[in-house]
């Protein structure tokens, strides 16, 4: 039984690097960096296909509203986490600075999601690791400090706005969803430029 080495020395067909460690894919050689970039793109494309957002035209009015809110939560969360990550997909937790791939980060809200006026407000949502968002309940002391450093007085402004009662209509939810889908497409394009 032969053991085939996982990498070879050769010339990369993508970046034309000479005499570098390469991986053979089909009949072509790719350097390790080009292969990793291609794998990341494949994973992102696969996740996008798997996580397609439901159509706007399904269900009754009550279930349609719930579906719209669910879809909006999904798109908004993805938009914030990708927007705050680097081109290689690595983002950082807003409160503890832990660096992880954007798919492992969560969306943390300063004012909780039950306050619908700020639920999809980009000033209120930041990328957080699971430890800070779930186990430390948002790590609010540091969250408040960081918001105040970015925009002085923002925590107080968000708390004041959260007292307003608001219920989005289905049409408003649809418009928000369309808007965030367009924004999401724009920020996802930074990953496509790598390939």
Which structural domain, as residue segments, surrounds residue 34?
8-47
Q: Is residue 179 domain-shared with residue 153, that is, in the same domain?
A: yes
The two tokens of residue 152 are 């002085």
Q: In the chain, how many domains are there? A: 2
Q: What is the pLDDT along the chain (195 residues), one digit of tens a residue?
A: 455 556 688 888 888 888 888 888 888 888 888 888 888 888 887 776 665 544 444 445 678 889 999 999 999 999 999 999 998 889 999 999 999 999 999 999 999 998 989 999 999 999 999 999 999 999 999 999 999 999 999 999 999 999 998 889 999 999 999 999 999 999 988 766 554
The two tokens of residue 180 are 């965030």
- Looking at residue 33, its pLDDT comes to 86
Indicate whether 78 belongs to any domain.
yes
Q: Is residue 126 domain-shared with residue 151, that is, in the same domain?
A: yes
Query: In sequence order, which residues have a C-beta less than 8 Å from that of residue 39 and are 6 or more positions away?
Result: none
- Looking at residue 140, its pLDDT comes to 94
Q: Which helix (H) or strand (E) holds 158?
A: helix 154-162
Query: In sequence order, which residues have a C-beta less than 8 Å from that of residue 61 and are 6 or more positions away?
Result: 170
Q: Is residue 27 domain-shared with residue 112, that is, in the same domain?
A: no
Q: Is residue 65 domain-shared with residue 119, that is, in the same domain?
A: yes
Indicate whether 1 belongs to any domain.
no
Quick check: pTM over 0.75? no
Query: Residue 56 to residues 5, 97, 123: CA-CA distances in angstroms?
Result: 50, 37, 26
- Looking at residue 59, its pLDDT comes to 46
Least Cα distance to 17 among 42, 34, 36 occurs for 34
């Amino acid at each position: 039984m032969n053991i085939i080495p996982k990498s070879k020395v050769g010339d990369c067909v993508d970046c034309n690097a000479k005499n570098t460690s390469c991986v053979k894919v089909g009949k072509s050689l790719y350097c390790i960096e080009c292969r990793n970039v291609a794998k990341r793109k494949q994973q992102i494309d696969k996740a996008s296909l798997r996580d397609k957002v439901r159509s706007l035209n399904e269900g009754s009015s009550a279930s349609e509203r719930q579906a719209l809110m669910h879809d909006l939560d999904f798109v908004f969360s993805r938009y914030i986490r990708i927007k705050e990550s680097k081109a290689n997909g690595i983002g950082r937790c807003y409160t503890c600075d832990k660096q992880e791939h954007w798919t492992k980060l969560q969306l943390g809200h300063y004012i909780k999601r039950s306050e619908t006026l700020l639920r999809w407000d980009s000033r209120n949502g930041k990328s957080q690791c699971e430890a800070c968002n779930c186990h430390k309940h948002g790590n609010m002391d540091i969250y408040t400090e960081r918001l105040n450093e970015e925009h002085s007085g923002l925590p107080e402004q968000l708390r004041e706005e959260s007292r307003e009662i608001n219920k989005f209509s289905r049409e408003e939810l649809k418009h928000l969803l369309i808007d965030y889908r367009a924004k999401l497409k724009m920020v996802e394009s930074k990953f496509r430029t790598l390939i």
